Structure 1
Amino acid sequence: MKLSIQLHLAVLSISDTVSFLEVFGVDRVRSTVHNWVHKAELQPESGRSPNHVAADETVIQLDDEQYWQYAAVDPSSNDLLHTKLETTRTNVIADQFFAEIREKHDVDDAIFLVGGAVPLHRACEKHGLDFRYERHGNRNSVERIFRSIKRRTTISQTVSATPKQKLLTSG
């Protein structure tokens, strides 16, 4: 169970996680692994009230598919406040992301530090949130999260590769 959750946190799909477990002789159906992951409550704890929130989005490539990862981090503690993984990037999704953050945390008085993504700027304006464009500084905390996620997805793609693929990429 713990391995399944860790594999899924490494951004393996539920199906890929089930396939990986089969290598070790563990036979579980997708719904079982899905329930384990959801019971683990992977979203960060609610109820925080940070002064600043670093928020951004990035694209993550898994095989031939792209996903958009949205994240919000408290730069003073580097704690992840909220995350969302989507198959596309739209103004509506950015708006939902900020609505979810506001629902979970007391951030209405926080200053949001965002990159150059226009959908994030629009969503902050729509929600009446104070934001400023920042390339570095306190926004680096969210960039560290993204680097970690991208590193994990690269590792997970190597782990889920066939033995022949592993041999071709290891040399």
Structure 2
Amino acid sequence: MLEIARLNGGSDCFELDFVKREATPEPAMKLGIRLHLAGLSLSDTISILDRLGVERCRTTVHNWVQKADLQPLGGANPDHVAVDETVIQLNDERFWLYAAVDTDTNRLLHVKLSPTRNQAITEMFLSELREKHLVDDAVFLVDSAPWLQAALHRHGLDYRYEKHGNRNSVERVFRELKRRTNQFSNCFSHAEADTVENWLQAFAFAWNQLI
């Protein structure tokens, strides 16, 4: 479980460009965002804010997270990268979450939500990953998924099949994500795909702050 006390990057660990349009004090908004991304439900988050004299509804905190537009920082230069995908339930549809993790630091490098999984989508994910980070010399740790191996080969990236070992780092991320989505009955209900992907990017940002 993610520990709230470890989300301690301070109030300056992210900026809120939209704060001038909000009636809530910026420190309270940042606290609400940090509490929710660290593992508290929206209900528990607004309960804590209420004790501090800031009365807001769940939708308001959700909107703060969306407007903050948080995502993992770029510029990493990892030696090994674990790549995998997992199913995310969005209303009554299945989507695929792609994730890349630096196995030395356990930091999330990139996440992407897609309505399907195939070589073309995987190549797009890898292109975005290469734009954000210095991964051309990294060794990619993958499972036996043929579309993933084919996409890495197409990009000219070095990869190695690894069922367990260092590749478990991405599985730990997925387990925490599943724990979080269990709070929503393991499903993002009444949400658009871009809203869910925005939340997943924010989750990745918070994960990197906590490890």
Partner of 1:168: none
**Alpha-carbon shift at residue 39 of structure 1 (Å):** 2.9
Secondary structure at 1:131's aligned position in 2? Answer: strand
| TM-score, normalised by the number of residues in structure 2 | 0.59
Amino acid at match of 1:126: R
Instruction: Indicate which of 84, 87, 94 corresponds to 1:56.
Output: 84
| TM-score, normalised by the number of residues in structure 1 | 0.72
Check conservation: 1:94, 1:119, Cα contact below 8 A. Answer: yes
**Alpha-carbon shift at residue 9 of structure 1 (Å):** 8.9
Q: What is the CA–CA distance in structure 1 between the aligned matches of 2:67 and 2:83, rounded to whole Å?
A: 24
Partner of 1:169: none
Q: Does 1:96 align with 2:96?
A: no
Instruction: Indicate which of 94, 112, 115 corresponds to 2:140.
Output: 112
- C-alpha offsets along residues 96-146 of structure 1, whole Å, 9 cap, x if unaligned? 110011110000000000112222111101110000111100000000001
Partner of 2:57: 26
- Equivalent residues in 2 for 1:1-171, closer than 5 Å: 1=29, 3=32, 26=57, 33=63, 36-41=65-70, 43-157=71-185
Q: What is the CA–CA distance in structure 1 between the aligned matches of 2:188 and 2:133, rounded to whole Å?
A: 36
Check conservation: 1:5, 1:37, Cα contact below 8 A. Answer: no
Secondary structure at 1:156's aligned position in 2? Answer: coil
Amino acid at match of 1:37: Q
**Alpha-carbon shift at residue 26 of structure 1 (Å):** 3.2
Secondary structure at 2:73's aligned position in 1? Answer: coil
Percent identical across equivalent pairs? 48
Q: What is the CA–CA distance in structure 1 between the aligned matches of 2:149 and 2:187, rounded to whole Å?
A: 37
Number of aligned residues: 148
**Alpha-carbon shift at residue 88 of structure 1 (Å):** 1.5
Check conservation: 1:112, 1:129, Cα contact below 8 A. Answer: yes
Partner of 1:166: none
Unaligned runs of 5+ in 2: 1-28, 47-54, 190-211
Check conservation: 2:91, 2:187, Cα contact below 8 A. Answer: no
Check conservation: 1:66, 1:87, Cα contact below 8 A. Answer: yes
Amino acid at match of 2:104: S
Check conservation: 2:86, 2:97, Cα contact below 8 A. Answer: yes
Whichever structure has more strand as a proportion of its residues is 1
**Alpha-carbon shift at residue 48 of structure 1 (Å):** 0.5
